[in-house]
Amino acid sequence: MTSLAPAGLVEQLPLPILLLDASECVVYASPPAEEFLQTSLSRLRGKPLAGLIPEDHPLLALIGQVRRSGRSSSLNGLEIASPRVGEHRDVEVFAGPFGDDAGTVLVTLQERTTARQLERQMGRRSAGRSVSGLAGVIAHEIRNPLGGIRGAAQLLEAGTDDDGRVLTQLICSEIDRIAALLDRMLAFGDAPARTNEPVNIHSVLDHVRRLVSAGATGKVRFIAEFDPSLPSVLGNRDRLVQAMLNLVKNAVEAASSQGDRGQIWLRTSFHAGFSIADRSGGARVSLPLLITIEDNGPGVPEEIAPHLFEPFVSSKPAGTGLGLALSARIVGEHGGLIETERVRNRTVFRVLLPMAPEESQP
């Protein structure tokens, strides 16, 4: 049979890849395919694909069509579900003839989670631009009268009894809370020009972990798994700290509900093979730097999960819904992508960022 690829090359590709013979039995499965099908290559090899999915599944019909026509074909939006492989929704499938062996078909499978998140992020950017102008106007218009009200309350406090002072202090406290909210709304205004430089993302995450640990009242445990060979990201360190701080604080609040069992995992890795078109629609930009923040909290309610990074969307009773939206905005400013999902009873946030050019690496 024709060799699939130079030794070790296919194993580095992030897509699940299957090679099927003329009998639709598995000849080869890449490591991501083993994970996708929840079965090792040694167990898959020689087994019919129909033993893993229903016999009337459109995937099998697609493979049959490719074999008969001798031409490549694809399907979008498939659902692959069975007790053997679990449940995968919105799968994009490509199938095509392979090599010189008659009937041999190459199949790639990809869940379109990242693509959906990218589409949502484009929508969030548009929503962010709309809300930024509104936020700036509201904040500036409200700030002036708030200052006058606070000053008047302080004057009243000096000439009142204890009960009156409690009320005036309450007024000042609430004004300060509103002012803090306005500050967060202003973060959606046009950000001033900032100098970008190579930033070590591990120093950012370590700084954020120290900040959050110092202010945390619970016993949440941090587990850091960093790839020390990861290159720098080209960006603004202060903005990246703000983005990661919002994500980690959100994770801490969720994990704190587990008491002493609360845990947060901070991971970094090099994630080759994913790119997006730049904002001008020209050359594609690779996003190989993967930062993962996981917590074992209760998760996000399903009804708001698709809108989690939109302004003013929050699952917390007292939440403003601006923290995660600001993180998404900052990641977008850096040309990156942010996504979230629930995996193995953990809430997972992933941030994909471009790396700094080699000539600017420290």
Strand partners, 284: 277
Let me know whether 337 and 214 are in one domain: yes
Let me know whether 166 and 268 are in one domain: no
Backbone torsions φ then ψ of 230, nearest 5 degrees? -65, 130
Let me know whether 150 and 25 are in one domain: no
Instruction: Quote the number of domains for the chain.
Output: 3
**Residue 4 falls within a domain, yes or no?**
no
Q: What is the pLDDT of residue 7?
A: 41
Q: What is the pLDDT of residue 137?
A: 59
Let me know whether 140 and 261 are in one domain: no
Let me know whether 220 and 342 are in one domain: yes
The burial class, CB within 10 Å (0-12 / 13-18 / 19+), for 317 is exposed
Q: Which of the listed residues 145, 164, 186 is the one where a domain comes to its end?
A: 186
Q: What is the pLDDT of residue 5?
A: 46
Let me know whether 92 and 222 are in one domain: no
Q: What is the pLDDT of residue 136?
A: 59
Mean pLDDT of the chain: 78
**Residue 180 falls within a domain, yes or no?**
yes
Q: Report the percentage of the chain scoring pLDDT > 90.
A: 14
**Residue 2 falls within a domain, yes or no?**
no
Q: What is the pLDDT of residue 6?
A: 42
Q: What is the pLDDT of residue 266?
A: 96
> Per residue in 118-164, pLDDT tens?
555 555 555 555 555 555 556 666 766 777 788 888 888 888 888 88
Largest CA distance in the chain: 95
Comparing C-alpha atoms, which of 32, 27, 26 is closest to residue 12? Answer: 32
Residue 113 has pLDDT above 60, yes or no: no
Give the span between the Cα atoms of 250 and 242, in whole angstroms. Answer: 12
Is 245 within 8 Å of 208 (Cβ atoms)? yes
Q: Which of the listed residues 186, 212, 233 is the one where a domain comes to its end?
A: 186
**Residue 192 falls within a domain, yes or no?**
no
Highest mean pLDDT pick, 25-34, 70-79, 185-194, 220-229: 220-229
CATH of residue 266's domain is 3.30.565.10
Q: What is the pLDDT of residue 223?
A: 93
Phi-psi bin for 247: left (phi > 0), alpha (psi -120 to 50), beta?
alpha
**Residue 63 falls within a domain, yes or no?**
yes
Let me know whether 63 and 106 are in one domain: yes
Parent domain of 351: 197-360
Residue 16 has pLDDT above 80, yes or no: yes
Let me know whether 270 and 237 are in one domain: yes
Q: What is the pLDDT of residue 31?
A: 84
Residue 278 has pLDDT above 80, yes or no: no
pTM: 0.56
Let me know whether 97 and 129 are in one domain: no
**Residue 136 falls within a domain, yes or no?**
yes
User: Tokens standing for 14?
Assistant: 């992030």
Let me know whether 231 and 340 are in one domain: yes
Please report, for residues 159, 240, 241, 245, the alpha-carbon distance to residue 237 in angstroms, rounded to integers and kept in the order given.
48, 5, 6, 12
Residue 350 has pLDDT above 70, yes or no: yes
